[in-house]
Amino acid sequence: MALLARDDTGLRFRTDQGVLVLTLWGDRILRVTMLREGAERTPDVALVGAPARVAWTLDEQADRYLIATPAMRASVDRRTGAVALLGGDGKPLIAEANLERRKLGGAPDAEGAVRMLFTLPEGRAVYGLGQHQTGLLDYRGSIVRLQQANTDVGVPVLVSPAGFGLFWNNASVTEVAVDTPQAGGRALFRSSAGEGVDYFLFAGPDVDQVIGAYRQLTGAASLLPRWAWGLWQSKERYASQAELLGVAAEYRRLGIPLDAVVQDWQYWPAGRWGSHEMDPSRYPDPKGMLDALHRHNLHSIVSVWPRLDVGLENTRALEAIGGLYPRTYPNVYPAGQGRWYDAFSAKARALYWRQISERLGRAGFDGYWLDGSEAELGGQWGEMAEVNTALGAGALVYNAYPLLHTTAVRDGMAAEYPAKRPLLLTRSAWAGQQRNGAFTWSGDVSGRWDVFARQIPAGVNFSMTGNPFWSADIGGFFGGSPRDPAYQELFTRWLQFAVFNPMFRIHGTGEGKEVYSFPEAVRGPLLDAVALRYRLLPFVYAQSWQVATHGASFLYPAGMVFPNDAKAQDLRDQYLFGRGLLVSPVIEPGATARAVYLPAGTEWIDFWTGARHAGGATLQVAAPIGQIPVQVAAGTILPLGSPVQYADQSPDRPIELRVYRGADGRFTLYDDAGDGQGWQRGERATIDLVLNDKAGTLTIGARAGRYPGMAKTRRFRVVTVAPGTGVGLAEAPGREVVYDGKQQVVAL
């Protein structure tokens, strides 16, 4: 191996297999590519920007080249060219296996696949790789197939509690074998197509540093409108304007908080799928419908597909610019045939958006539900590999379709409707999609207990791909009746879990699952769950700011926040919401208690009782039908808002600051206008809260920033949590503080 060149961004080497290039994209980001001479890479659809200017050094040692930035060290073996990311102790965190580099390098194998072996730290978990329905959290000992399908989302990003992340920059169908006999106890990436090896390494050690580096590379997560964090009511499907408005009116009449009613598919006239028209016989005044919702502080999104009926004017217009795939595909459901647009074409994306905007956008919809975004085509998963796209063979760009599809609508909405933050719901995702303001939901899953249990690791692993926006249909898409006692229990437990999800959306086929559709005798726990979600809004909105600006997530595996606790690495039915709330959903019918493992390294306080327990222990925790077990880490400052009917009612209402003593802590309250792009112009305000446990004080810092409509004063009630005080949904006694924007120190 020979060093060919060095410049400000990295190094180039000549090896027996081709040219090895190391590029520094940031002080925690290293790109590694191995291409044969003359080979060209597939377009980098996931990446944004260019390599940042990084201060780095090169130490040419006898057996290796050592590269160092202020936050990362990596090495290249002089003999084999194997690259390794090093930890603080100088040992490899992840390293190319020398034999694989020497034998294969960037060349395809005998079947045309691109592959690479990596050694991983022994006994450390591997998370990420998208959203899968296997029930696995730690992927050691398993093979994961990354291929988009309904309920299965492939994203070639992984992280580890060892303190690193990896993005395998290949959008073709990929298999990842982690610590299996086939991988020789290592991690094997094998992609079905590609011209060479191309991947990125991210250095931590903290998970937010790793994911923050990934988003620096692929795009910051969007800041979503405040209403997005409230309750969404959906159904397959509200069949008329009157029905949809009736649902909204009934929620408001009963005083059940609600922020959105969703219009699912088949609102179009017969034979007009893809026209983006609303059938005038059932929806006589779409704009009037949206105006009525908005007057009641409600919002709506509408389902659109990348699929169009044959012969429509929209279909012909897309075909005229080469924006459709040639084949006509049979529908998965209902019977029929249709064409699919090429989201890899910039011209097709722009036209597709214009067609949506001319009818649905001008009616006033607040966002779009991009269904079938894998793309579904004829429902035979694998068909995308057979088409030629505007960016090359479908086999090469296979998994990236949902990224480009969401980009079409996100970019169009941002440009044409700047008063609304882009907000999408989509069934599939790929690397970088966090920048498009798109919630990915887990697809058309069934309303069963075993399926419910699998949603927990599915969502947590999806979050560890750097995309924080995830949800599952509350209660499951298929099956379930509000009149069935067995389903009532499942729905209650699923709703409680969803309180601690990014998106809070009820959906399903068959009978409507509106909260008021359940018998009054069993409705109490449902109302309590909705009330808890709305009281959590100040916490959720503040966390969304950390997500958008600081590499944070909503869902974390306990093993990533407590990396030194071996028992915490594979908690499949527990997770952290933010970094301080340990959530343990009830996933068995009839259960009134469950075992809860408390990660070592902190003390934990029961949200419902205030009881304190040391970490590193397993407890049997009470879980009556109205309660989901939640433990709060010592040092947490948890803001709980006042009861409200909709999210935008909350900003100037009193906030209870629950203080969980036992360690120092910090939290930043965040607020802005709730929608629009003013926050990007600096129209926002933050208040730093600091707990000094030894001194027994909570400092409410001086407010930084302002925004139009901001209340000059706020009311806080500071509550020190103890057994029986400051627990559950009860309003707790505490010290009242009138805050005028100046720093105040409150004795606890």
Whether 482 shows a pLDDT value over 60: the answer reads yes
Mean pLDDT of 11-15: 93
* Cα separation, 212 vs 216, whole angstroms: 6
* Cα separation, 738 vs 314, whole angstroms: 57
pLDDT in tens, 344-388: 999 999 999 999 999 999 999 999 999 999 999 999 999 999 999
Beta strands in 373-522 (DSSP E): 388-389, 392-393, 424-426, 438-441, 470-471, 504-506
Q: pLDDT class for 67, splitting at 50, 70, 90?
A: very high
Pairing between β-strand 612-614 and β-strand 581-583 as defined by DSSP bridges: unpaired
Q: Point out the least confidently predicted range of 105-114, 307-316, 564-573, 662-671.
A: 105-114
Mean pLDDT of 228-255: 98
Task: Residue 202: name the closest of 67, 20, 83, 71 by CA.
Answer: 71
Q: pLDDT class for 623, splitting at 50, 70, 90?
A: very high
Mean pLDDT of 584-613: 98
> Given this model, what pLDDT does residue 425 score?
98
Q: Which two tokens stand for residue 473?
A: 């249909």
Whether 107 shows a pLDDT value over 70: the answer reads no
Residue with tokens 């509550």: 719
> Given this model, what pLDDT does residue 154 score?
98
Round the average pLDDT of the chain to a whole number and report it: 96
Q: Point out the least confidently predicted range of 84-98, 568-582, 684-698.
A: 84-98
Task: Residue 165: name the closest of 7, 26, 52, 66 by CA.
Answer: 26
Is the full-model pTM beyond 0.85? yes
> Given this model, what pLDDT does residue 98 score?
61
Beta strands in 227-280 (DSSP E): 231-233, 260-261
Mean pLDDT of 444-464: 98
CB 120 within 8 A of CB 451: no
Whether 395 shows a pLDDT value over 50: the answer reads yes
Mean pLDDT of 5-28: 93
**Torsion angles phi and psi, residue 154, rounded to 5:** -100, 120
Could you tell me which residues come within 8 angstroms of residue 160 by beta carbon, excluding any fewer than 6 positions away? 93, 94, 120, 121, 124, 125, 126, 127
Q: Give strand pairing partners of 167.
A: 157, 200
CA dihedral 39, 41, 43, 47 (to 10 degrees): -150
> Given this model, what pLDDT does residue 619 score?
97
Q: pLDDT class for 102, splitting at 50, 70, 90?
A: very low
Catalytic residue ranges:
371, 374, 444
Whether 527 shows a pLDDT value over 80: the answer reads yes
pLDDT in tens, 177-219: 999 987 777 999 999 999 899 999 999 999 999 999 999 999 9
Mean pLDDT of 404-410: 98
> Given this model, what pLDDT does residue 112 score?
66
> Given this model, what pLDDT does residue 100 score?
47
> Given this model, what pLDDT does residue 109 score?
63
Whether 103 shows a pLDDT value over 50: the answer reads no
Q: Which two tokens stand for residue 187?
A: 């991690």
> Given this model, what pLDDT does residue 99 score?
52
What is residue 98's three-state secondary structure? helix
Q: pLDDT class for 105, splitting at 50, 70, 90?
A: very low
Mean pLDDT of 511-540: 98
pLDDT in tens, 257-277: 999 999 999 999 999 999 999
Residue with tokens 């068909």: 383
pLDDT in tens, 122-150: 899 999 999 999 999 999 999 999 999 99
> Given this model, what pLDDT does residue 148 score?
98
Q: pLDDT class for 732, splitting at 50, 70, 90?
A: confident
C-alpha angle with apex 737: 734 to 738, nearest 5 degrees? Answer: 150
Identify the residue with better confidence: 114 or 107: 114
Whether 23 shows a pLDDT value over 90: the answer reads yes
- Give the DSSP H/E element, type plus range, for residue 124: none
* Cα separation, 172 vs 193, whole angstroms: 6
Q: What is the DSSP letter of 220?
A: P
Widest Cα–Cα separation across the chain: 79
Whether 54 shows a pLDDT value over 50: the answer reads yes
> Given this model, what pLDDT does residue 640 score?
97
